[in-house]
Amino acid sequence: MITKTAWKNVWRNKVRSLVVIASVAVGIFAGVFAVGVMNGAIDQRADDIFENEIAHIQINHKDFRSNNDLVCNIKNVNSIRDQIGAMEEVESVCDRLFVAGMANTARKSVGVNIIGIDPREEKYVFGLYKELEPGTGDYFGDPEREELAYIGFDLAKNLNIIRYEITDEVADQLKTAGLPAEISGGIRKFTGKRFDNEKSFKKAMRSVLTEDQEKEYGKLILETSQTFRERARFTLTFVDINNHQTGGVFRVGGIYNISNSMYESSYVFVRDHVIRSLVELPENTAHKIIIRLKDVDDTKAVTMKLKSDFPELEVLGWREIQPDMALMTDMAEVMYGFFMALILAALAFGIVNTMLMVVLERTKELGMLTAIGMNRKKVFRMIMTESVFLSLTGGMVGMLISWIIIRITSARGINFGSMQEGFEAMGFSSHIYPDIGIGFFFIVTVLIIVTGVLSSVYPAFKALKLDPAEALRTE
C-alpha cells in the first residue's frame, strides 16, 4: 500500500516530478556515456599494447633493461623458445634483437631503437604488419632485398621521407572530398611545389586559409597532400658488440601507422640476420623472447611458471612492463564509480529540494494521516519511497538513452580528429569506440537507489517533526 501511494504521490505534481526526472536522466546519461567513452579508450589502448607493442610476456637477460648492453643477451634461444612454445597457454613466441642507434638522412638525424626480427614469426605474435600505410611498401615482401626497414609514420615525417605536394590530382581529390571551390583555387597556386616537412606545408597553407577554414579543412588538405618518397634510403648507425661504430644503408620497405606517436618515432624494424651480422652477435642469441598467450588472464600464472623454469633470466608480465596501463585498468571501475557518485551527489541536492517542497505542501495531509493512525515509520517510508521513485525513474530513462547511444557509437566510433596529436602523444587513438559492460548498469542502479534513500532522509525527518494538531490547522 505504501509503495502504491508513493507512486501516485509522485505524479500529483507532474511538471515538478518530470523536471526532477529529466534532470536525473540527463545527469545519468552524461555520466554513463562519458564512462563508456573512457572505458572504450582504455580497452583500445590495452588492445593496441598487446597487439602492436609488447604482447603479454617478455623474457630478457637480467641486466639488459638496466644498461641495454648488446652482450646482455639470451643464449640457446631456440631451445628456450621451443620449451615455451610447447606450453598449453601459449599461442605463439618470437625473439628480437635490440640495438640503440641513430637514423640519418641528408638533412635529419633521429635517435631510434633498431629491432631485429624474423618477419614471418613476428606475424604470429604481433599485428603491426596490418598497420601498413597504403602505398608505402609491403612489409618485407621482397625476399631478395635484405636491407629493407619497416619504420613508423612519425619517424618517416621526422626524416623527411613523408613529404607534401599539391598536384592537380590532389586538387581533384580534395574537390571530390568536399573542399569548397574558393579554397581549392587558393591552394592551387602551390601546384608543383614540394614541401619537405609538415611545418613548412602548414605555414604555406595558413597564407591562403582563414583560421576557421584551417580548423575545418586543414587536416583533410594535409593528409591528401602527403606523398611517400618511394625507394627512400636512410642510414642506421650504432655500435657493435665490441663497441666499434658501424652501420648500414637501408631502404624503406613499409611505413606503419598506429595510435602511438612516441612508438612510431622510436622503433625501426629490420631483418634479424642483417642486424646480427652488423653488430657481430653470435647465432642462437636474442635480447628478448616475446610471448603471446591464448588468454591474457593467464599472464600471472604463466609468468610465475616461467620464472621458476628460467631463474637465470628476467621474466616480465605486461603489468610489469607497462605499470601505468596496469594501474589504469585496475582502477578503472573504481574511477567510474567515483565519477558517477559525484554526479549523483550533485543531483541529490535537487531531489532533496523537491522532497522538502513536497513535505511543506502536504503538511495538512501528513498531519491528517498521522492523526488517523498512520505511524511515523510508515510516513518515513512513504517519503523515502517517493524519493527513490523519482531518482530511479530518471535513472532508468538516463541509462536507457545512454545504452542506445553507446550501442550506436560503438559501431561507428567517435572521431576526436581535432585532438589527434594530443591523443596519440599519450598512446591513445583519436577514434574511440565507446563500450561498457552490463555490470556497470547494475552498479549505477544501486548508486541511484542509495542516492534516493539518502536524499529523502532530511525531508522525511522534517515530516516526522510535524505536530498533527498544528498540521491540521495549516491552510
On the question of pLDDT at 208 being above 50, the answer is: yes
Residue 210 to residue 166: CA distance in whole angstroms: 18
* Residue 435 exposed, middle or buried by CB count within 10 Å (0-12, 13-18, 19+): middle
Interval 395-405 mean pLDDT = 94
Listed residue (328, 301, 300) closest to 427, CA to CA: 328
For residues 416 and 50, is the Cβ–Cβ distance under 8 A?
no
Of 19-23, 46-50, 383-387, 408-412, which gets the smallest average pLDDT?
Answer: 383-387
Interval 399-415 mean pLDDT = 92
**What is the structure's pLDDT at 332?**
85
Site of grid cell 588468454: 295
For residues 353 and 456, is the Cβ–Cβ distance under 8 A?
no
**Contacting residues for 264 by C-beta, under 8 A, at least 6 apart:** 152, 153, 154, 155, 256, 257, 258
Interval 434-448 mean pLDDT = 90
Residue 236 to residue 267: CA distance in whole angstroms: 12
**Contacting residues for 332 by C-beta, under 8 A, at least 6 apart:** 38, 39, 42
**What is the structure's pLDDT at 415?**
85
**What is the structure's pLDDT at 471?**
45
Interval 227-241 mean pLDDT = 89
* Angle of CA points 175, 176, 181, to nearest 5°: 25
For the segment 90-140, what is each residue's pLDDT rounded down to a tens digit? Answer: 999 999 999 999 999 988 899 999 999 999 999 999 999 999 988 888 888
For the segment 130-187, what is each residue's pLDDT rounded down to a tens digit? Answer: 999 888 888 888 777 888 999 999 999 999 888 888 888 888 888 888 888 888 888 8
**What is the structure's pLDDT at 472?**
45
Q: The pTM is what?
A: 0.83
| Domains of the chain by residue range | 2-48+325-472, 55-160+230-321, 162-228
What percent of the chain shows pLDDT beyond 90?
47
**What is the structure's pLDDT at 362?**
62
On the question of pLDDT at 363 being above 70, the answer is: no
* Mean of per-residue pLDDT scores for the chain: 87
Interval 292-307 mean pLDDT = 95
**What is the structure's pLDDT at 131?**
93
